[in-house]
Structures are given as structure tokens and as C-alpha cells.
Structure 1
Amino acid sequence: MSFPFAVRITSDGSSPWPVEAGRYRLVVNRACPFASRSLVVRRLTGLEDALPVAVTDPLHDERGWRFTLDPDGRDPVLGIRYLAEAYRAAVPGYDGGVSVPAVVDVPSGRVVTNDHDTLTPDLASQWRGLHRPGAPDLYPAELRADIDALNAELAADVHFGVYACGFARTQEEYSAAFHRLFDRLDTLEERLRGQRFLFGDAITESDIRLFTTLVRFDAVYHGLFKCNRNTLTEMPVLWAYARDLFQTPGFGETVHFADIKLHYHAVLTELNPSGIVPEGPDLSGWHTPHGRDALGGRPFGDGTPPPAAT
């Protein structure tokens, strides 16, 4: 998938947009799995002060993501009602897609990037000079090629795979996407059977990507997107792995199930014409013991967990 604002913010001089504390505003929606990745990375690395966040309403109208959660329906820093205004500040007359996450340059009010694929690796590496002391290395140099390769597979089969199931227009399209999705989940189940995280003993950026899809699986994708061979809770290894991450500082506190369920079921009227938001599933299981510590490992590698959320 291509992004119209696939610009990178870097510290190595490779981009006209330099890493700079306080210059940019990260715009997210808590329902979006791609935006949620940036929230987890930001939390684990301690970038909260360096990269302030703006949160959009889980509901939107024909004008897209809006700041109706803020007083007077405007983002208090950018002064705009709709994220689309920042896109048009970058490209006058822009009428294409408006997606989150998006990073906005505060002085100019223009979107710099909406490329979620490069945003989180860059937050984990290019922004390292602004990380908190003890921040984990989520994108270690010696693993980057392997992380990028796995991320591409996860994107094709899992992250976009659930959408391919949900929005398929023919039985053949749906069946192909369905089998790719569950074949990949079966492979991941085996990969994680004997190791705690996707690359062994410590969390990497790949784990964050997989987590933000898995945490939405039973609440949304299983029913609404017809990804219904089984629930996540019926895949014992992936279910324990997802709970392990959910209970790790920096993960669970970024998850807002109410926003997730409301957005998907109320906004995607093509899939859910009634707009009825389901009562289930029971979410209490996310807090139950997972037993993954028996595999050993150090979730933060040589780093430390983030301080308690305030």
C-alpha cells in the first residue's frame, strides 16, 4: 500500500524533516491498529514529551477524522476541527484519503507523513537520541533485515489480511484471504511455541505490530470481518502470547476496547448496516495468567520498563 505522504523524519540528514523535540504532533485514533503501533512505541521509548499526541473521535463523518473529543471540537495545538485540514495545508485542494497515524508539523500545520510502515521503525531508531534512559531497542541493527522481512509477511497475510476477508467482493477473494490469514496464524502459533517473542527473548517492533492486530481479533475481526475459523482464545499459544504483551507495561494501557468496538461497528456501515455495537466478547480474560514467563526472556532486553502511566 502506498501513502501520499510517505516522508520520513530522520536524525541522519537523509530527510528535510529533522527529528526535533516538540516540533511535531502525532495524530492517532485509538481504534486504529496502525495508529496504535505508534502509541506503544512512543510509550515504551519515552517519547511522550518529545512527540505530543492528538486523539481523534472514534466516530467520523464524511469529512473524516475529527477532533470532537477536544473542547470546541478543535485540536488545542493545531487549531483544526478535522485532520483533513492538515492534509490540505500540505497539498492545497487535496481530496484523497485521510489516514492515521499522521505526523503534523506544528509550525506550518501541515502533514509530514502518514506512512505507518516506516513511522514506528523510525521512532525506534531515528528518534533514539530523544528516548528515555533505559528505553528498549525495538529495532536492533543486527535484526533489521529479518524484522523488515517478517513485517512484510505479517502485513500481507495478517494486518491487511483481516481487511481482505472483511471487504472481499467475491467468494474466491474471501476464501483466498481467509486461508492466507489462518495459515499465517498457524505458522506464528508454532514459531512462538518455544520462544517468548517473535525474535526470541526480547520484544521487537514486529511484536508490537502483531499485538495491535491480535488485540482486535475477537472484538472485531472474528465476527464483523468473517475471520471466523476460530477465535484468538482458541489458539492457545497466540492467546497466551497476546496476554503476555497486553500485561506488559506500555501495551495494555494503550488499548481502548470501547473505542475499537464503537468505531468498527458504527462507522463501517457497509459491513454492519444497523450500526449496532455488540455487547461481547468477554474481555476479562486479557488479565488472566499467561504462563509465558516460563519461557524466560527479558521483555525489554537490556532496557527497562516504562514508568507507570500517570
Structure 2
Amino acid sequence: MGAKGEFQRQTSAFRDRVTADGSSGFPAVAGRYHLYVSLACPWASRAVLVRKLKGLEDAIGMTVVDPERDERGWAFRAGRVTPAGQADPLHGWSYLSEAYVATDPEFDGRVTVPVLWDTETNRIVNNESSEIVRMLNAEFDAVATNPGLDLYPEDLRDEIDALNDRIYDTVNNGVYRAGFATSQEAYEEAVTALFESLEWLEGLLADRRYLTGDRITEADVRLLMTLVRFDPVYVGHFKCNLKRIVDLPNLWAYTRDLYQQPGVADTVSFDHIKTHYYATHPTINPTRIVPLGPVIDWDEPHGRG
């Protein structure tokens, strides 16, 4: 936390890269890498979705941690009735923190997802979601079943980067800055910037189907993972309640458009999402009661075609 009660996100610790030609020391080959993710976490869900869209399920293994995180961090727990996480298939670990310590015995920061693990060197390659997404998009085409999809095309990179910068600061991270604020000033500053950006996006999407035009890009993937959590969690739990996404017609139709794309809904678990947020933040929700609602029709025709 900052001096005036503002939430400050930790910088990712592991920043090596997998490359198609192996020049980084981590060649993009099938079966070598494993993703540790949470279906509750929007940052990890970016990687889950890109893995799905690129057709990398057979090339890169994936394990889902338990949605309830406690003071020991993300856990591997199998057997819960619902929503369930998974056991660690590689090492039998109980907590993801064991992967961090195995990579760096001196690591004492916050354990985050996603994690891209290298089974050959037995270490974390990268735990920065934006960089993992870029690697999945571009470096594994030789082993992908959908190599033709490019979410970061060269002709749109400047526009995508500019969109990402604003959306990350005020929307993706903005909801956390509002939810974790410990002063009225920090909360109001975050919420004001958040809804200014949502109104800006509402206007932008009046004239284009997706953020950069008629193609789905990385910018859409990154925004979507916040939008699907907004009404079920951020409106109430994080006090981002000036408006709901369903109150912004262009943004709501855009969210449904993306959600209804083939394979996208398969990567979204509202059980994991709601269980994680409402049961993991005792200072915000000390009763840990998980609400039943809201009732949202994600299959309502979007009319954006």
C-alpha cells in the first residue's frame, strides 16, 4: 500500500522468455512447458484464453489452483466438490510457492499466477501475464493447431500498446486500486478514473466492433477478462458501482460478442471467480459469504456482427 492508502501492484520477478528459435535458451517445443493458473484471476485467465485460441492445449500442459487463497498463497487441492482446483501433476506440491522457492530459494515476494514452468530446467521461466500471452501468441506456432491467429499483428501494435496502457492502468488494475484502497481519497481517485475509461470505451465501441476495428486482438483479450468479472464481483465486492457493464449498451454487447466466440466461455468459471474474491479477502468480506447473483444472460444475441 502507498502512503495515502492506494494499492500498488508488485512487479513480476521472473522474466525469461521462450522463443521459437531457442535463442533465449528456452526453445518453444511441445511438452516442455507447463502453465500454473487460476481460473479466478484475470491475469492468469489471459494466458488460459490465448492457449485455447491458439490451439496449444496438447503442446502446453496446465494445472488450475484452488480458487480459495489464504495466507499461504495459491494451493493445489483436488477433491473439493465445487469449485475444484487440481493436484500438482509434476511435483506433488501443495502450494505454488514451492515453485517459486525451487526457482529462487531467496524469493520472499507475493506468489502470483500465471506461472510458465520449464520441466527441463525445473524452474519458472516467467510469471508476467502480459509476456506469457505474447509468447503463447507468437513463439509456439510450430506446435499450435491455430497458428494463423495473430493477436498482436505488426500493423496494429502501436494502437494495441496504447490501448493496453490506458486500460491496464485505469480498468484492469483500476478495479483493484478501488477495491483494495484503504482511504476514501484513494478509492475515489481510482473509481473516477475507472469510469472515465469505461465511458471512453463505450464511445469507442459505438463505431467499431472490437477495440482496433474488425479484428480481435490482444487488447480485447486483456479487457475481456476484467469485463466478465465486473458485474459479478467488482460492482459489489470492490465498490465499483457507479454503473454496471450491463448499463453500458455498447460495452455490454461487445463483452457478449467476445464471450460467445468459439472456445472463450470454456475458459471462464464464474464459480471460481466468485468463490475466490468473496472468500479470499476477509478485510473486504469478513463473512466470506458468496452471493448467488447476479443473474446474467451471457447468451443473449449481441448484434455486433
Q: Provide the TM-score with structure 1 as the length reference.
A: 0.90
SS state of the match for residue 68, structure 1? coil
Aligned to 1:288: 300
Measured after TM superposition, the shift of residue 73 of structure 1 is 7.1
Match of 1:296 in 2: none
Task: Indicate conservation of the 8 Å contact 1:78/1:106, yes or no.
Answer: no
Aligned residue in 2 for 1:23: 32
Amino acid at match of 2:169: A
SS at match of 1:195: coil
The residue number in structure 2 matching 1:303 is none
Native 8 Å contact 2:63 2:86 kept in 1: no
Letter in 1 for 2:35: L
Match of 2:7 in 1: none
Aligned counterpart, 2:15: 6
C-alpha distance in 2 between matches for 1:174 and 1:12: 46
One of 162, 165, 176 as aligned partner of 2:175: 162
Give how far 1:20 is off: 1.8
Q: Could you tell me how far apart the structure 2 residues matched to 1:134 and 1:3 are? A: 28
Give the CA deviation at 1:12. Answer: 4.3
Instruction: Tell me, in whole angstroms, the C-alpha distance in 2 between the residues paired with 1:159 and 1:248.
Output: 21
Whether the 8 Å contact between 2:141 and 2:147 is mirrored in structure 1 is: no
Aligned with residue 74 of structure 2, among 65, 68, 77: 65
The residue number in structure 2 matching 1:54 is 63
Q: Is the 8 A contact 1:75 1:81 kept in 2?
A: yes
Instruction: Check whether the contact 1:78–1:109 (CA below 8 A) recurs between aligned residues.
Output: no
Structure 1: gaps (5+ residues)? 294-310
Q: Any conservation in 2 of the 1:88–1:110 contact (CA below 8 Å)?
A: no
CA offset digits 1:153-184 (Å, max 9, x no partner) = 11101000000001112211111111110010
Task: Kindly indicate whether the alpha-carbon contact (under 8 Å) linking 1:245 and 1:252 is maintained by their aligned counterparts in 2.
Answer: no
Distance in structure 2 (CA, Å) of the matches to 1:73 and 1:264: 19
Matches within 5 A, 1:1-310: 2-69=11-78, 74-133=87-146, 135-283=148-296, 285-293=297-305
Any conservation in 1 of the 2:64–2:86 contact (CA below 8 Å)? Answer: no
Structure 1 residue 7 displacement after superposition: 2.0
Note the C-alpha offset of 1:192.
0.8
Aligned partners of 2:56 and 2:144 also within 8 Å: yes
Instruction: Give secondary structure in 2 for the equivalent of 1:53.
Output: strand
Aligned to 1:308: none
> Does the Cα contact within 8 Å between 2:65 and 2:86 map onto a contact in 1?
no
Separation in structure 2 between the aligned mates of residue 135 and residue 276 of structure 1, nearest angstrom: 44
Once residues 87 and 54 of structure 2 are traced to their aligned partners in structure 1, the CA distance between those partners, rounded to angstroms, is 28
CA distance in 2: counterparts of 1:93 and 1:172, whole angstroms: 36
C-alpha separation between the residues in 2 aligned to 1:62 and 1:274? 17
Q: Which amino acid aligns with 2:115?
A: A
- The percentage of aligned residue pairs carrying the same residue is 48
Instruction: Output the amino acid matched with 2:209.
Output: R
Q: Give the residue type in structure 1 aligned to 2:75.
A: R
Q: Look up the SS of the partner of 2:124 in the other structure.
A: strand
Instruction: Report the Cα offset of residue 243 of structure 1.
Output: 0.5
- Tell me how many residue pairs correspond in the alignment: 292
Between the aligned partners of 1:95 and 1:134, the Cα distance in structure 2 is: 38
- Preserved contact between residue 89 and residue 110 of structure 1 (Cα < 8 Å): yes
Alpha-carbon distance, 1:110 to partner: 1.9
CA drift of 1:113 comes to 0.8
User: Displacement of 1:14 after TM fit?
Assistant: 4.9
1:95 Cα deviation from its structure 2 partner: 2.3
Q: Name stretches of at least 5 consecutive residues in structure 2 with no aligned partner.
A: 1-9
Deviation per CA, 1:59-117: give whole Å up to 9, x if none. Answer: 13322111102799741223222111111111014221110000111234322110112
CA contact (8 A) 2:22 2:28 kept: no
CA contact (8 A) 2:15 2:128 kept: yes
Alpha-carbon shift at residue 40 of structure 1 (Å): 0.8
Which AA in structure 1 matches 2:232?
Answer: A
Please identify runs of 4+ aligned residues in structure 1 that moved more than 6 A.
70-73
Q: What is the rounded CA distance, in whole Å, between the counterparts of 1:108 and 1:10 in structure 2?
A: 15
